[in-house]
Amino acid sequence: MSLVRLTPVPHKKVWGSRHLQPWFPNPEEPVGEFWFEGVKNSPLLIKFLFTSQKLSVQVHPDDEYARRHHGSRGKTEMWHVLRAEPGAKIAAGFRTAIQPEELAAAARSGEILDLLNWVEAREGDTFFIPAGTVHAIGEGLALCEIQQNSDLTYRLYDYGRPRELHLERAAEVSHLGPHAARPMIEGNTLVSCEYFSTEKIRIAGTGVHRRGRDRKAWWIVLDGAVEIGGQRGRPGDVFYAPEGEGELTLSGDAVLLRTHAPA
């Protein structure tokens, strides 16, 4: 089975970090995200995120809304925490249900920060954020994000930064109640939804992994060193396995995420 090593493309962000090791070299200017590119028309996008400030409070539309209004796909995503400073938090959904008319008013006043359900994020945690979930990522985090390949985002609150807000659109797509962001983990599977299924795999020695026909797969190296399909992988490497049947030999001492997209 041939593997494609994807290219990490850095994106500078005001909320980014200079502390990217061991996944990437530390930069002179803050980098917030790495997007892994190299798969044409990919249904998924793999990112690494690094935060030194809070990200905006935002929401993503689902497929139906995105197609109708933008001619694109929606955005369901998951986060796996790679590193977390003490007290680092994420927000997903609201502490209690709110009324539609409350959303825009709370976003304008900043009260939305108090209405959101903030939870502590620790290394190894996983969070699932379906389209329509109002969410935010706090400072002091390094995350691996797996998402539908869309950057369609409606911002509700941005801490006074001079960026556009999208209150009307956000109000149309937001779910206004609580959300259980920590998925029920079954065995090695962290998240399984209609868009992707992600497992956490630990390699100690040599093993052979098989996959079925017509299943695209991404292998994300989080920790350690591994030889995967004849290529060497280190933390921060992402490999893509095209669809089709095959076996993949892995050897080394490493922790990886393997995510599949349906046929």
Question: Which pLDDT tens digit goes with each residue over 196-218?
Answer: 999 999 999 876 676 555 578 99
Residue type for 213, please?
R
Same domain, 25 and 81: yes
Catalytic sites, residue numbers: 155
- Do residues 141 and 19 make contact, with C-beta atoms less than 8 angstroms apart? no
Quick check: is 183 in a domain? no
Number of domain units in the chain: 2
Residue keyed to tokens 């990522």: 137
Element (H, E) at 63: helix 63-70
For 87-186, where are the alpha helices, taking DSSP H only?
A: 100-109, 112-115, 167-173
Quick check: is 178 in a domain? no
Confidence (pTM): 0.95
Same domain, 109 and 34: yes
Residue type for 51, please?
T
Determine the Cα–Cα distance for residues 229 and 257; give it in Å rounded to an integer.
Answer: 15
Quick check: is 220 in a domain? yes
Same domain, 31 and 122: yes
Could you read off the pLDDT of 11-29 as tens digits, one per residue?
Answer: 999 999 999 999 999 999 9
Determine the Cα–Cα distance for residues 86 and 201; give it in Å rounded to an integer.
Answer: 26
**What does each of the 263 residues of the chain score in pLDDT, given as a tens digit?**
578 999 999 999 999 999 999 999 999 999 999 999 999 999 999 999 999 999 999 999 999 999 999 999 999 999 999 999 999 999 999 999 999 999 999 999 999 999 999 999 999 999 999 999 999 999 999 999 999 999 999 999 999 999 999 999 999 999 999 999 999 888 899 999 999 999 999 999 876 676 555 578 999 999 999 999 899 999 999 999 987 546 788 999 999 999 999 86
Domain limits for position 232: 189-261
Determine the Cα–Cα distance for residues 115 and 237; give it in Å rounded to an integer.
Answer: 37
Same domain, 14 and 124: yes
- Residue 211 is predicted with a pLDDT of 59
Could you read off the pLDDT of 191-200 as tens digits, one per residue?
Answer: 999 999 999 9
DSSP E strands, 52-181: 57-59, 77-84, 89-94, 116-120, 126-129, 135-137, 141-148, 154-157
Which candidate, 213, 217, 224, places its Cα nearest to that of 259? 217
